[in-house]
Amino acid sequence: MVFYFESATENDDGILKPSFLSSKLTNHCAEKVLIYMGRDKFENENLIEHGWDQDVWFHVDKISSAHVYLRMPDGMSWDAIPENILIDAGQLTKANSIDGNKLNNQTILYTPWANLKKTPGMETGQVTFHKQNLVKKVFIRERNNEIVNRLNKTRVERNNPDLAAEKVAKQRELKQAQRLMEKKLRQEEEARKKEYARLAELRSYKGVVDDEEGMKSNKHRAEDSDDDYFM
């Protein structure tokens, strides 16, 4: 079982609304900001294995908690996530820790999915990091029921989703988008080359015409000079 939630962002009036309706989310106004987590440590293993490069992992520091993931929309950087979305993810992570939910002043760690490291001998659902300098922290002073309740209202449960197939489909989509972008760039480059050649040909033609006009002008001046001499 995987649980999916939708984050929210603030509009210009300070009113929370779903992020896919927001114009403040650095140009992702038509995209949802997805947060998801597994039901238990066994589900966490699947999430660790089949995460996306766009995913950011959240966990309460030093105590057991759910592995919560934020799936960033295109254009968002993991080290520049809007603060209110960070708080949403942090609150959800704290709320899904048996001990952390009862305690105030909790530190939530977060890092890109690609920085998660799984080594032989680790317990089910346990991870460490490839690079410690790619781990950031968000501080949650206390549980905010308003935020947690808002997120829970968006919760959707999916029983045994095919995470591997979904990842493959996403990778194909990204490769297709990359191919289309490369094709567009090639076409634009060809168009630039053709335009450059056309302008070069025009300049060359203009140079020939200017030379011919110059020769005619010189001839007329010479004829005028001869006429003056015989007069």
Give per-residue pLDDT as tens, 173-229: 888 988 998 999 999 999 999 889 888 888 887 766 666 666 666 555 555 555 544
Name the range with the highest mean pLDDT among 52-61, 74-83, 117-126, 213-222: 52-61
pLDDT above 60 for 156: yes
pLDDT above 80 for 68: yes
Between strands 68-71 and 55-60, the pairing is antiparallel
| Residue spans of beta strands (DSSP E) within 25-105 | 34-38, 55-60, 68-71
Nearest to 110 by CA among 37, 179, 57: 57
Higher pLDDT pick, 136 / 204: 136
220 forms beta bridges with none
- Confidence label for 10 from pLDDT (cuts 50, 70 and 90): low
All residues at 6 or more sequence positions from 4 whose CB lies less than 8 Å from its CB, including other chains: 34, 35, 36, 155, 156, 157, 158
Q: With the C-alpha atoms ordered 185, 190, 195, 196, is the resulting torsion angle positive or negative?
A: positive
C-alpha 99/C-alpha 2 separation (Å) is 21
- Confidence label for 104 from pLDDT (cuts 50, 70 and 90): very high
What's the pLDDT score for residue 15?
45
Higher pLDDT pick, 24 / 52: 52
Which segment of 26-30, 114-118, 169-173, 211-215 scores lowest on mean pLDDT?
26-30
pLDDT above 60 for 13: no
What's the pLDDT score for residue 204?
82
C-alpha 22/C-alpha 203 separation (Å) is 51
Using only the alpha carbons of the chain, give its radius of gyration.
Answer: 32
Vertex 132 angle, CA 126 and 135, to 5°: 80
Helix axes 41-49, 163-230, angle to 10 degrees: 20
